[in-house]
């Protein structure tokens, strides 16, 4: 059961990483020392790189993928 407006169990890894980056950004703004801000920035940077890797790995269907689907699955009027 979700306690907030988001259902964490149904979120993708990409969404979770983005939320983590946003949380780290907020922590950076509140961190009292340069050393703490630097460590948080490093972690946020690594998470951002991981997020980009995941985003680049998301497949965008091409026409051969579409052609492999039956017209029944694509719906009426599909070519």
Q: Is the pLDDT reported for residue 48 higher than 90?
A: yes
Residues 6 or more apart whose Cβ sits within 8 Å of residue 45? none
Q: Is 35 left (phi over 0), alpha (psi -120 to 50) or beta?
A: alpha
Q: Residue 29 and residue 9: Cα distance in Å, rounded?
A: 28
Indicate whether this model's pTM tops 0.85.
no
List pLDDT tens digits, range 5-19. Answer: 666 678 899 999 999
């Amino acid at each position: 059961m979700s306690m907030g407006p988001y259902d964490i169990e149904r979120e993708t890894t990409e969404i979770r990483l983005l939320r983590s980056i946003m949380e780290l950004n907020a922590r950076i703004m509140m961190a009292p020392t340069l050393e703490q801000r630097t460590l948080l920035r490093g972690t946020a940077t690594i998470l951002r790189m991981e997020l980009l890797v995941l985003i680049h790995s998301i497949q965008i269907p091409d026409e051969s993928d579409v052609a492999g689907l039956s017209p029944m699955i694509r719906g009426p009027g599909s070519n």
